[in-house]
Structure 1
Amino acid sequence: MIVGVPKEIKNNESRVGMTPAGVYELVKNNHKVYVQSTAGEGSGFFDKDYEQVGAEILESIEEVYAKSEMIVKVKEPIAKEYGLIKEGQIVFTYFHFASSEPLTKAMIESKSICIAYETVEDEDGTLPLLTPMSEVAGRMAVQQGAKYLEKPAKGRGVLLGGVPGVAPGKVLVLGAGVVGIQAAKMAAGLGAHVTIMDVNMKRLRYVNDVMPNHVVTDFSTEFSIRKHIKNHDLIIGGVLLKGKKAPNLITRDMLKEMRPGTVIVDVAVDQGGCVETTKATTHEDPVFIIDDVVHYCVANMPGAVPYTSTIALTNVTLPYVLKLANNGWQAACRSDRSLEKGLNVVEGKVVYKEIIEAFDWNEPVLI
């Protein structure tokens, strides 16, 4: 199969769809790989690194799309790329369709095969291709939150770890999934007092078992969220509903109950955000303030640490890329139920019901 790795063109996105190590494995399996020139530079991988493992470097993104049977990316295609995607072409990347109706319609019109990293699902319900980026984003959420709590950034002026004689900052984590666990771990490591909330008691029991005593759990209800937001300095939204739009756990009116300078980091922004006032921001312009509450809503947080993120992503995507390249998408998905769940849009039809539900469409779903 001919596999293309284009350069990411989303704002400040420095990751790349595949490391040279991944390309080496594809070439070893007799596949042709085209990599767009400078695609890997932001992650610390250069054209010569790809050439040394057998890739051919192409100058333009148009050439990569035109010559490739399968595109391996990181982020969803943006408007400039819509017209480059061909009928029958496999596009393997993060899509997050439920948060973007224009993207969904564009991919339907392209009649391509859209396989979304975030909905590939193992038998135990885990999301193997989302997990490493969730781990990165969860850890980064605390780093960024700590920075924006500083007064020059319009935060409360709180040091999360405190100092002797001064109480530590308080961090509220919504969701005890991968993002939430990693965020709680980082915040606890800094010495902050952490409250983590979820509706899944099994997850809360797990948190209680593995976290230190200054990480406490609470069952998530609107009443309890309203109680905690009044006295927490940093709020991290880490809620995920597979393939669906995130629920609004914090509504606009709740902002007035927070102390001025409170910081919200909404990691769920890719799925529409779990805060009503969330709107996607970029690394170039990452924050905005509503009712004196600082919102950090960067939609590609792991893109700020591309070396770590690209390696972590290729580690988990490569087995699926090889399976698709070796067998074609139909045979690969028939033989692998996890990969089959990654099918979102196929040849002009939406095949993932949560996407239709997100837009209240009445189109038929292919199974």
Structure 2
Amino acid sequence: MSEIDFFAPAIVRWQRQAGRHDLPWQNTRDPYRIWLSEIMLQQTQVATVLPYYQRFLQRFPDLPSVAAAPLEDVLTLWGGLGYYARGRNLHRCAQLIMAQHAGKFPATAAQLAQLPGIGRSTAAAIAAFAQGERAAILDGNVKRVLCRYFAITEDVFRAAGERALWELAERLLPASGVMAEYTQGMMDLGATLCTRRQPQCVACPLHAHCRARQENRQHLLPVPRIRQKRPERQASFLLLSDGQGILLERRPAQGIWGGLLAFPEAEAAIFLPKLGVEVLEVRPLPNLQHGFTHFVLQIAPQLCRIAAPPELVQEGAYCWLPLAAALDAGTPSPVRKLLAALPEILAQPAA
């Protein structure tokens, strides 16, 4: 049996015996639940996604409820999960399906890939799980499995290498009757055994034919992508509080953290006089660093302790929330960290 003929049957057998079967989005053909899980799992581990997925379903049990909700409500539940464009695209996708597809998910991977936030691999996963379509996935875990099994030394993160890997993934597909098991098996294998570091080759169902294992090159494949040093940007956060509440600003729809609540990004000497509040203290806090895909944000937070809440300005761009409510609002990760630390910061005596 050739290594290609061996591949898919081995994956399917292993998935049935040892793969994951108890994830909350499994054992269903409901495209809504499958779609939601696949969007959340983009560049995010299962353990991180699980509580977000459960909370999201409690608030939005079906596609119409997502489409009808304000974007702010969707982003509130997405807060902390990262890659917030996913939340915005999810909301827009739900509205498009309701408006253009009579509330029904398109049946094929090709049609799904035309929707916001659904790329080729995600579309294939949804179609395989919901419809049993023969469509290949190629996320990071699958790339790693294929590169090791076939000892691929090309840079598969560049266009030519990725095209070749897509062609290989298509050739490996089994009969359509086992597409759900095969697709889940590929995901499970990369996530649990063929991991980036310390792969568990002895337990792998592919080890007998895996060229990387035969050549002891697992740790060298896939060939790492060449990463350039990310540029740095600077931001100043103002934590304006009277000890009970906090001032937050709704970010513009476009740009980083679009639609989320964050601290005003401004210089205290310029911003505070506009509010007409009695300022008791302005104190710098330790800097934070937050990484994005294409740059690193260096954040300089300042505590601005005031005597009483300000009058809200700029026609609702700002909101004043109790500290406990702010922790439950839709905020990005560095804002959440600062909000969680704020009670202890406020308990410290003024400088």
More strand by share: 1
Query: TM-score when scaled to structure 1?
Result: 0.22
Query: TM-score when scaled to structure 2?
Result: 0.23
More helix by share: 2
